[in-house]
Structure formats: structure tokens, C-alpha cells
Structure 1
């Protein structure tokens, strides 16, 4: 269950928010499906949300099917990665594919919290690998669980995320008459509370690994499809590697008082999270990073062994800025919907 301090941050009414800094590319042509299937980490067959996977992630993207191709949504924030348009065009070669910007044609919105946003949810089932990789198994769902409505994605990255909508530039979604219209920051808070990383702030281009960024848990990776860019490293990690880090939600507290803080503006991205010994034991190695954060809660990339130590009371997470302590600590927790590892110690 979420920590009690989080309860006051959860919106209780149906809400809809415009999503800032989102770009769109139109991908059309008779070979557009095969073209995208060779570049994305998930199968491209129907309306689908995917993420790029190149061993390290370049972009996490949403893919919408249209009548003549696809619209690909991505984060336009500057990063170390080559521009998405340039990257795609580099791979067109002789394929019958056309790529153009559609950013000026559509706005991206997120809607959540209404009966409509919950009625399509189904019970989560999971497939575990020895590496710690986890895949959702969509028992009882349609053949493609992300929905088939044009310009609409059922956001199954986590329970309660709602829907993602494309709307003609300058217009409001139909849901705006029945939902509270809230700023983008409320959507960021909404996904933080559910443990969902998104965009360059959380899934750092050219640095983040797919499974450490929870792309497996969110249903963004197909480990059984044919060749695509970055497949070798991703599949090898899935079968024979060990996943040592995950992005988890955290409560940001004052170190001494244990009181949740509310920062305006939020903490800077990528501040170090240092594991500190609370009880005698071996010195922990490595550190974590603060990612998106709002109103004293955030996401953080953490070593799983350190998270276990914090939960046992052996460690705490101090937030530091360079060499300087910030007098803040990060307290991680597992979202209620998060997959629970099956008990392998039971006799069979």
C-alpha cells in the first residue's frame, strides 16, 4: 500500500491533463509496419505502445495506428541521443516509408480516474525470468491490450494510469466536459505515485537500460520477436543476466524529523542517492539517482540490494548534491500493483 503521506496527493475526481513537450512523427507507406518492427523493442502489428530499445534506450515512445500508417509520440527534450527524425530517416534506405513531423497537428492529453478509465482493466498476471525480468501476461484481454481506437491508447503501463489521447491542435478532448482539466504537473504526479517512468527525465537517453527502467514490466518489450536494433544485449540480459536496479517511487523526507517535504520547484534531476549504514555491516557500493519529483514524492533509480537493506532497517538513502549533504532522505516503496515474485522455496 502507498505510504499514508501519499494519500493526500492522489486526485479523487476524473482528471485530464495536456502533456507538454511531446513531439509527433507521421510514419506512412506500404512498408511502415516492417520498418518500425525492425527498430522498436516490441512487435508492431496493431495499435501499440512501444519503446525504442538499443541495448541502452534512445527514446521511449508511444505508437498510434492511423488509417494510412502510424503516429509516433516522443519526448522533445534535448538529450545526447540523435534526433528521432534523423535516426529514423537514416534507416529508411530503400523502404517504402515516408517520415514527416506532425507535432503542429496534434496535442497529447492524458485522462484518468473515471469509470471509463477503469472498466477495461483486468487482473495482472506475470511471467518471471531468473534474471529478474518480468513480463505482463494479458489473460482475459483482447488480442492487443492497448486498445484499437484511433488516437487513443489504453495506458496499461501500470494499474490506474487511464488513457492517452491525441487531439487536433488547439482543441480539447471530449472528456474535458466530464473531467477536471489539470496542468501537466498533475499528470507527472499521477504517474510518479504509480511508479511509471517516462521521457528523458526518467529514462535517460543513451544511458538507461530497458529493464532497469521497467520497460519489461510496463509491457514495452517483446523478447520473442525477430531481429531489431539492440536485440542482442536486451535478450541476453533477459535470459542470462541479472537485473540489479529498478526505478521505484520514493517519499522525500527531512532526514532528522522524518517529515515529508514539498519542494517548489522540485529537486534537480539526477541528484545522487547515497546508501548509508544504519546498523553494522558491509559498506554498500554504488548509489542511486533522483528522477522526476513533485510535492515531496518522486521516482528514483535504485540498486535492489540497497532497497532491501532499507526495508530491513540496515540502510537509509541520503540525497546528496555533489559532495554536499542535503539533509534529505528518500524512502522507497513498492506500488500496490507491482508484480510480486513467486515463492520458489515451496515444495512441489
Structure 2
């Protein structure tokens, strides 16, 4: 087992008597059925169905007055904007929204049997997420054999084809299907309404997805995120994150298929890409 302190992640706590119902009507994942041992991927979308924020939802371990709270494990830099957006929807709902990143941090446990934390539902091999008091993390990491580092964790998720927001897809510009949220348990199509639900449902049931994050093997230097992917003279997508000889790229599906059928190589700069 490996452990990585994900210092670039933060935590937003949504508590109060109506916390679950409040989030249930907003996000793509099912909050009402979220169990104590789960870290469930979800997103808050624009009314047009594009991803503004993505996060892992977990049940807070401590309860206040018998009411549980939901923790949103999110990119730290997105927290102020996320809290502002959630507050816009709050109205008279009995919820409290707070950034608790100064008190708690996130550790990813992966790469072997894991008995602690909340299971990351995006992939069976992703491991778990452990929320710990921030002050205790330096002393806690040696009990897991030390901190493997964020780069090692990134190599793990890239090998499994799990994208990261802001690197593998652009916030405000990508639909959940393009970020593979439909395939990685990030959208519950049976839960009922949420912001942007009509657009997402239409893409699901009409098969309208044109672009997807896909796994690629790199034959050459690692392209920078955002580097253009070409098939001959045709642009078919952009690179996302990479580690070693593996990477993720957001590609136009029909053009990638045409290139494959024609035996045409995909390239990003001087690097040749091979789809897996």
C-alpha cells in the first residue's frame, strides 16, 4: 500500500438538517444514498450541463446534534468559488457551508489492500480517501511507510484512466461525459433533478458524446497539458496529464476512429500517441 498527502486538495463541509437534501438537488451524484465508507465522485454543473466543480463527497465522521455532514474533497484553489456558488443556491435551506481545510487534510491510500478511509468509487483500484486532522498528518504519514508524493498518486490515477479537473478537462467547458463521469460513477442517472440534468440526460440517452478523455501511451517526451493532438493536418484534441509513458488526452471520438482506420498516427508536438 502507498499513501500520498494530497496537499493540493481541500475540504468544504456542508452540514445542517437539510445538508443532504440541499446537495441532492444540485450535484450529479446521489447524496441521499452516500454511505459512511464511500467517497463518491460528483460535480456541480452550469444550467447548460458543463462542469464548474468536481469533488469527492464523503460523510463527515463527527456528528452534531445527530445530524451528519457532507465533506466535499475539492481542488483547494476552487474552494472560494465553490462556496460562493453553493451559497447562491442556499436561500432558506437549513445548511451551513464552511471551508475546513485549515483543520483537515486529505490522504490517498492505494496500490494494495487498504483497510482505512472511504472507498474511492471512481475505479475499483483507486483505493481510499482518508480525512485527517491537518496537524496530525506529518506524524501520520510514516505509519503508512512515508509519503509517496502527489506525482506517484497521479501516475496511479492516470494508469487507471481517471481524469483530474483543471488538467484533463477545463472547468466551465467540459460536459460530464467528456470527463468520463458517466463511466466512472460520477453521475447518477436515476436520482432525479440536478442543475444541468436535462442536458446530461439528453447526451446519455441520445448518444451525443463527441469528445472523451482517453488513455494514451506516449512514444517520446511528455507533452504539456493543453498541447494540441493532431492526426495529419486535423486537430483532434488536446493532451492532459501524463506520467512516464502513460497519459490522458481529451479527443474527438469520430476523428480518432477515422485516424485509426486509416492507419494515421496521432501526434502531439514531436510525440507519437497510441490509444489504449
Name the TM-score, length of structure 1 as normaliser.
0.70
Counterpart pick for 2:50 among 31, 47, 56: 56
- Aligned twin of 1:318: 267
- Aligned twin of 1:300: 249
| Aligned partners of 2:213 and 2:249 also within 8 Å | yes
CA offset at residue 228 of structure 1? Answer: 1.1
Counterpart pick for 1:157 among 110, 122, 125: 122
Q: CA RMSD in A?
A: 2.3
| Aligned partners of 2:114 and 2:128 also within 8 Å | no
Cα distance in 1 for partners of 2:247, 2:142 equals: 27
- Aligned twin of 1:276: 232
1:165-212 deviations in Å (ceiling 9; x for gaps): 111103238674244531111101110111100232123110111011
Q: Residue 161 and residue 50 in structure 1: after superposition, are their counterparts in 2 closer, same or farther (change >3 A)?
A: closer
| Aligned partners of 1:15 and 1:113 also within 8 Å | yes
Bigger helix fraction: 2
- Aligned twin of 2:271: 328
**SS, match of residue 220 in structure 1:** coil
Counterpart pick for 1:34 among 15, 21, 32: 21
**SS, match of residue 205 in structure 1:** coil
Cα distance in 1 for partners of 2:167, 2:180 equals: 14
> Which runs of 5 or more residues in structure 1 are unaligned?
1-13, 118-148, 255-260, 278-284, 320-325, 334-348
- Aligned twin of 2:76: 76
Q: Does 1:98 align with 2:89?
A: no
Task: Give the paired residue count.
Answer: 262
- Aligned twin of 1:183: 149
CA offset at residue 298 of structure 1? Answer: 1.5
Which residues in structure 2 correspond to 1:77-226 (within 5 Å)? 77=77, 83-116=81-114, 152-172=117-137, 176-226=142-192
1:243-276 deviations in Å (ceiling 9; x for gaps): 222211222223xxxxxx3x5xxx4221110112
> Which runs of 5 or more residues in structure 2 are unaligned?
none
